[in-house]
Structure 1
Amino acid sequence: MDKELRALGLEDKEVKIYLACLANDASTPTQVAKLTGLKRATVYFYLERLKEKRLIEWEVHKARKHISPIPPHKGLKRYIAKKQEEVNRSENLVKQLLTHIEKVAHEKTSGSKVYHYEGEEGIRFAIDKLLSSRKVIYWIGSMELFIAAVGGEEEWHKMFTVRRLELGTVTRGITDRRILKYPRFSEMKDGRRNFRFLKEDFDIPALLGIFGDSICFFSLQKKEARVVLIENALMAQMLKFFFDSLWASLPEE
């Protein structure tokens, strides 16, 4: 019987204590210690383990524990059922872990990166990414968002327009006609800058930029600029498709 109990996962001392409890119904930890030759502290420890495994129960009378072993045909079935529950939980955890690992591996191989910034630092970071890519910049939104976020027309001109002109970066924007109030930002020269205009003003305090394999979202909430930049080729291709569709639907000036 010892061998079979060990095969079920019980440790040597657990087997010894469990068999002692079966042989001496309603015994106390002190009696179990005498029968097994184990220290009382050790007996208490393994009695807790056996109780967790649903093989024994106890009651306390006058500050003493009186052990009641559960009949083996019932106790061992409960023990096996508990082990099966643990196996099922482990299997579910493994499935979740594998799903997570596969997701991480996919993200790693796809080279996706996400950046999140707030304030002027975020705008400067995004501008550096936009211009250093040396790709055509496609954008949808209101230029007034940037002008307000950086503190005025002059600051935006220094931060973006001057550098863009030096690099010869091409931009294509879908916006409203309020941009025409700013000649430095709305003149269409040499094919380096072009616009298509929406019928209504774009009053949402947000802007979407697409360049190369990246997309960038800008927003202004409670006068605080927020930037989320995602480097993901598939996302960029999808949004570029939507941009091209909208661009084609708007009249050319």
Structure 2
Amino acid sequence: MEEKIIETLKSIGLSSSEVVIYLDLLANNNSLAREISKRTHIHKANVYETLKKLVLKGFVKEILKEETRYFFAFEPKILLDYLKEKERALQEIIPDLPLASIHREEDGEPEISIHRGIIAARVEIMNLLEMCSEILVYGIPKSAMEIFGTWFLDDFHKKRIKKKVKLRQIFDENIPQRFHKLNKLPYTEVKYSGLKQSTPIFIGICGETVITLILTNPITTIKIKNKDIASNYREYFELVWQRA
């Protein structure tokens, strides 16, 4: 679990030293820089530099008492606020970004892109909503809930329902509580494939786009944009859907 926490914090933009010091402060609030240095085995000068960065990011606060600087870590939910602020900032600049470098499909050839990391995977999943077409998903393993986080999945469904985008998905594993929750949502249908085993891979189809997510470490996302390929995947989904 500790390794997963460290890798997740790195994935949202924290350096190795920022992760170590932030986690240390969560366990030992109201600390001096020299105390942090002693516990983490990071040179005191580097501790000060890292603390400045954490203060600027809003993860740590500094209090001066009798000319002595004490440091406190804000509670972990501040991480979600940090990500939301980053998302808002990105939403503001996206319309102004140049499009010349974007690869486009030509002469019927499929447009293929490969991305790695949880953030890229979340972005591609959210991008499906921009097509405003029915989303088909199959092969979802139970581990997907933990990997992507229920907070992200709930946010995805909230935005999807607001856009009135229909979703049909097939799980490889029987997850009664999740099924019950999803089937109560508008524009949503969920089925269980009945397979006795699952793989760490699931596929999403929307419009002319197919995304394959390989839930290894790091996560790999393969995106294919092609009308014929998407049609073939859609036909297979419908076959599995009828049998589920």
Give TM-score scaled by structure 2 length: 0.52
Distance of 1:120 and 1:176 partners within structure 2? 21
Give TM-score scaled by structure 1 length: 0.50
Match of 1:153 in 2: 150
C-alpha spacing 1:225/1:237, structure 2 compared with 1 (3 Å): same
Match of 2:135 in 1: 137
**Structure 1 SS opposite 2:211:** strand
Match of 2:176 in 1: 180
**Structure 2 SS opposite 1:221:** coil
Residue 241 of structure 2 corresponds to residue 241 of structure 1: no
Matches within 5 A, 1:6-155: 108-110=106-108, 112-142=110-140, 144-150=142-148, 152-155=149-152
C-alpha spacing 1:154/1:143, structure 2 compared with 1 (3 Å): farther
Match of 2:203 in 1: 208
* Counterpart code for 1:157: D
* Counterpart code for 1:130: L
Alignment gaps of 5+ in structure 1? 1-106
Tell me by how many angstroms 1:185 deviates: 4.8
* Counterpart code for 2:242: A
Residues 174, 192 of structure 2: 8 Å contact kept? no
Q: Which runs of 4+ in 1 moved over 4 A?
A: none
What do the CA deviations read for 1:104-127 (whole angstroms, capped 9, x no partner)? Answer: xxx621153112111122222212
Distance of 1:115 and 1:130 partners within structure 2? 15
* Counterpart code for 1:208: I
Residues 115, 221 of structure 2: 8 Å contact kept? yes
Residues 180, 186 of structure 1: 8 Å contact kept? no
Residue 164 of structure 2 corresponds to residue 168 of structure 1: yes
**Structure 2 SS opposite 1:243:** helix
C-alpha spacing 1:243/1:204, structure 2 compared with 1 (3 Å): same
Alignment gaps of 5+ in structure 2? 1-104
How many residues align structurally? 140
- The alignment yields a C-alpha RMSD, in angstroms, of 2.2
Between Structure 1 and Structure 2, whose CA radius of gyration is higher? 1
Residues 172, 193 of structure 1: 8 Å contact kept? yes
